[in-house]
Amino acid sequence: MQPTYYENLDEIKKKIWMMLDDAVTNRSSPFRIPVFICGNQSDFDGRIVVLRKSDQKNNLLQYHTDIRSDKIAQLKLNKNAVMIFYDKEEKIQVRLKVECVINHNNKITKESWLKTQHISRKCYLVDQGPGTKSDVPTSGLKPELDNFEFTMEQSEQGYKNFTVIQCNIKSMEWLYLAAKGHRRARFDLVLNQETWLTP
Ligand SMILES: Cc1cc2nc3c(=O)[nH]c(=O)nc-3n(C[C@H](O)[C@H](O)[C@H](O)COP(=O)(O)O)c2cc1C
């Protein structure tokens, strides 16, 4: 039997948002760690990020990063980016075109920072920004931080680097792999248009 979303665009949209919403809290969901790609003209780069928020009402996704990361400089020059998700079990690929907003030291970062766990705050405590060259193999952390010997109070130091990237979804592309025939569809959220595509 084919799933309800096999040939129904409304069901596909429902399925996409169900998978995105679930991924925010479900650590074993493959949709939790999409590839985020951004860049400028001849220099593009992609990396895995963790999906932290999914908001269908506002067509919005969020992830966290360090303000010193290379992608910040790229996003300042070009806010257009792509997010790619794949669930092997479900055989579903979702490709999103997004427009990014960089949040640093504002109401949104404050709200998200309060929800971060002690363990996650470690990433923001590195002395040099992510991607900084080192003569020796390094975590970038002072030894006492490497060993988790830091208080919640000390972890507050990380807030100055903590950044929330808001990804406003402009379009969604769906690909479902099925033996009976693959199905592909695109949803343009700006023009409010949707169409089937040849896979
Ligand atoms: C499972 C996993 C989750 C990750 N989550 C994030 C994340 O949420 N935010 C982030 O900036 N980097 C995350 N990273 C690290 C990035 O993939 C990347 O190495 C880092 O952001 C530095 O690259 P960039 O500054 O060029 O983006 C994650 C990596 C892995 C393997």
Domain ranges of the chain: 9-104+163-197
C-alpha of residue 129 to centroid of ligand 1, in Å: 13
Place of tokens 């680097």: 161
For ligand 1, say whether the CB of 130 is within 6 Å of any of its atoms.
yes
Q: Determine the pLDDT at residue 152.
A: 82
Which amino acid makes up residue 109?
T
Distance CA 52, CA 60 (A): 11
**Ligand 1 lined by 116 (C-beta under 6 Å):** no
The pLDDT, as a whole number, for residue 12 is 98
Reported confidence tier of residue 9, pLDDT bands at 50, 70, 90: very high
The arithmetic mean of pLDDT across residues 135-149, rounded, is 83
Give the residue, by CA position, lying nearest to ligand 1 atom 12.
49
Residue 1 predicted with pLDDT over 90: no
pLDDT of residue 146: 78
The greatest distance separating any two alpha carbons of the chain, rounded to the nearest whole angstrom, comes to 58
The token duo for 173 is 């592309």
Average pLDDT, the chain: 95
Residues near 101 by beta carbon (within 8 Å), at least 6 away in sequence: 79, 165, 166, 168
Query: Does ligand 1 have an atom closer than 6 angstroms to the CB of 71?
Result: yes
- Which pLDDT belongs to residue 192? 96
Residue nearest to atom 25 of ligand 1 (CA): 69
Average pLDDT over every residue of 153-175: 95
What pLDDT digit, counting tens, does each position of 102-123 carry? 999 999 999 999 999 888 898 9
Q: How do residues 179-189 score in pLDDT, each as one tens digit? A: 999 999 999 99
Task: Quote the percentage of the chain above a pLDDT of 90.
Answer: 86
Report the CATH architecture of 9-104+163-197: Roll (2.30)
Mutate to test the pocket of ligand 1, among 35, 44, 48, 128 (most ligand atoms within 8 A of CB): 48
Read off the amino acid at residue 94.
Answer: V
Residue 7: what residue type? E
Q: Which atom of ligand 1 is nearest to the CA of 45?
A: 26
pLDDT-derived band of residue 99, with 50, 70 and 90 as boundaries?
Answer: very high
Give me ligand 1 centre to Cα 198, in Å: 33
Q: Which residue's structure tokens are 């593009």?
A: 44
CA distance 56 to 72: 25
